[in-house]
Structure 1
Amino acid sequence: MCRWLTFRGDPTFLEELLFVPEYSLIHQSLRARRGATTTNGDGFGVGWYGEREEPGLFREVLPAWNDSNLRALAHQIRSHLFFAHVRASTGTETMRANCHPFVVGRWMFMHNGQIGQYEKLRRVIDNALPDELYAHRHGTTDSEAIFLHLLANGVEVDPQGAMEKTIRRIEDVAKETGLDSPFRMTTAFSDGQRLYAARYSTDPDPPSLFYRQDEIGTLVVSEPFGADEEGWQPVGPNSFLLCDPDGNVRVQPLTV
């Protein structure tokens, strides 16, 4: 599966977190230690908030470790809140529209995990989207579908409640279809002010998720940088994380 990171804090050049650390995200794109797959080479993306309300976005189907444009952009772009994602496909095509992050308006979203047997559920899940949000369905991934359902379920008003409604809806569809494959995920999403993340699974094996706070801000990652995990806090299974505009972090249970 995929690896990702998100940062909120003092404006920081993207390269400081994408390339510089030991076991950085770019290192993880080649040699992940905690992912279901070691190599995450099916495209990548970065999204960042700047002076405009809507985030900037750069996505490509090349492996992240071999893209000179990513390195050049990361050297120049500085942001107080940004996402980065390296993709390992779970069955959908390798194309730009399937690379993370996804953006609708000021909201940005990325995901690691899989809806079990998604190919058998995709039509029902897509049909449940309102027409105005289905117009934003550009790719074929379960990740983008989760994002659009999150928007449909009221993320503007109640981000955690919207995530819980989305999880319940996907689980209901699977039960109605008679499928029992695990639904596993970590997600991050933001409106440019607050940062949210969730870790969830229908079985005891959710994808890993950690966070760390230091003098420059808050990092939430699929797996820690560095040879050890000192200073990194694991996010427990079936949990929801909020980082507010003042940098305060709260982790609480998902009620599903």
Structure 2
Amino acid sequence: MCRWIAYSGTPVLLSQVLFKPTHSLIDQSLHSRMGVETTNGDGFGLGWYTLDTGATPAIVRDVGPAWNNRNLREVAHHVRSGLFFAHIRAATGTAVQQSNCHPFRHDRWMWMHNGMINGFRLLRRDLAVAVDPELYPDIEGSTDSELMFYLALTFGLTEDPPGAVARMAALVERTGHAHGVENSLQMTVAVADGERLWAFRYSSEGRSRSLYFSTRVDTLRSLHPDVGFLREVSEETRLVVSEPLGDLPGAWNEVPEHSYVLVQPGHDVIRSFRPEFEGDPARS
């Protein structure tokens, strides 16, 4: 599978998050503790929003491993952002190529994913024809992850992200059942619009990949007054990660099974999540 980080809060150099923690994303690219694979070397990607609130996010992706990429170090030590994604890939059947590296972008929206659509080779055609014909030409790669993004866009991601992701997940599961594929969906997904960040944890079998969010900064300051980084960032700063970046006591909280986290100015929320099938009552 893959590993990823989503950061929202005080603008910082990307290197503060990507390289400095003891179990940073770069360390996880070689020594993942919770991923299906220990090594995630099939490409990486960064996506970040600038201080220009009207701009689309910048995306940098490469097929090489993250642990020895000079361009990644160069960017991370010179770019400062208050909302960014970072992803390291372990391919699950599709080609190792730049267009298959995460995150994916459409207008102001970014998307990245860890997991898979089981039986994707069988399901791909039926899923692809469900994409809005006006969006379909923008699909560049061959991954299930990017197709999931464009299905969510088709189902209203820009107006209702939780609802759109729920409808996407329902379509994947319905299509899986039609092809005799059980437990068709495994996902932890991050999506952002430049101001807000959503992170989803769901799987058809109820055994989803790991996902964690950071504790409130004011709480962490009281627990660890000697940690300099906590004095430099605002109380609204949050990270959502595939696995914790270190062993700081009290710093990390598991996202509950079948739920999503919304990180936004003012207050964050955690809500339950399930696929939204036609005719279902409103989701909880």
- For the aligned pair, the TM-score class normalised by the smaller chain equals over 0.9
Displacement of 1:231: 1.6
Q: 1:85 aligns with which of 84, 87, 90?
A: 87
Q: 1:126 aligns with which of 125, 128, 134?
A: 128
How many residues are matched?
Answer: 255
Report the residue type matching 1:113 in the other structure: G
Residue 15 of structure 1: aligned partner: 15
Report the residue type matching 1:20 in the other structure: K
Residue 69 of structure 2: aligned partner: 67
Q: Which moved more, 1:73-82 or 1:211-220?
A: 211-220
Query: Given the alignment of the two structures, is residue 224 of structure 1 paired with residue 255 of structure 2, yes or no?
Result: no
Please state whether the residue corresponding to 2:113 is helix, strand or coil.
strand
Query: Given the alignment of the two structures, is residue 144 of structure 1 paired with residue 146 of structure 2, yes or no?
Result: yes
Report the residue type matching 2:269 in the other structure: R
Residue 35 of structure 2: aligned partner: 35
Query: Given the alignment of the two structures, is residue 254 of structure 1 paired with residue 273 of structure 2, yes or no?
Result: yes
Query: Given the alignment of the two structures, is residue 153 of structure 1 paired with residue 172 of structure 2, yes or no?
Result: no
Report the residue type matching 1:125 in the other structure: L
What percentage of residue pairs aligned between the two structures are identical?
44
Aligned-residue Cα RMSD (Å) equals: 1.1
Please state whether the residue corresponding to 2:77 is helix, strand or coil.
helix
**C-alpha separation in 1, matches of 2:248 and 2:207:** 22
- Structure 2 unaligned spans of 5+: 218-229, 276-284
Residue 165 of structure 2: aligned partner: 163
For residues 109-142 of structure 1, what are the alpha-carbon distances to aligned partners after superposition, in whole Å with 9 as ceiling and x for unaligned?
0000011111111111111111111111100000
For residues 62-103 of structure 1, what are the alpha-carbon distances to aligned partners after superposition, in whole Å with 9 as ceiling and x for unaligned?
100010010010000000100000000001000000000000
Is the Cα–Cα contact under 8 Å of residues 117 and 181 in structure 1 kept in the other structure? no
For residues 164-185 of structure 1, what are the alpha-carbon distances to aligned partners after superposition, in whole Å with 9 as ceiling and x for unaligned?
1111011111111121144111
TM-score by length of 2: 0.88
Please state whether the residue corresponding to 2:28 is helix, strand or coil.
helix
**C-alpha separation in 2, matches of 1:229 and 1:141:** 37
Displacement of 1:228: 5.6
Please state whether the residue corresponding to 1:135 is helix, strand or coil.
helix
Structure 1 residues 237 and 189 mapped into 2: Cα distance closer, same or farther (>3 Å)?
same
Which one has the largest radius of gyration?
A: 2
Q: 1:104-123 counterparts in 2 under 5 A?
A: 104-123=106-125
Q: Which moved more, 1:105-114 or 1:219-228?
A: 219-228
**C-alpha separation in 1, matches of 2:110 and 2:245:** 23
- Structure 1 unaligned spans of 5+: none
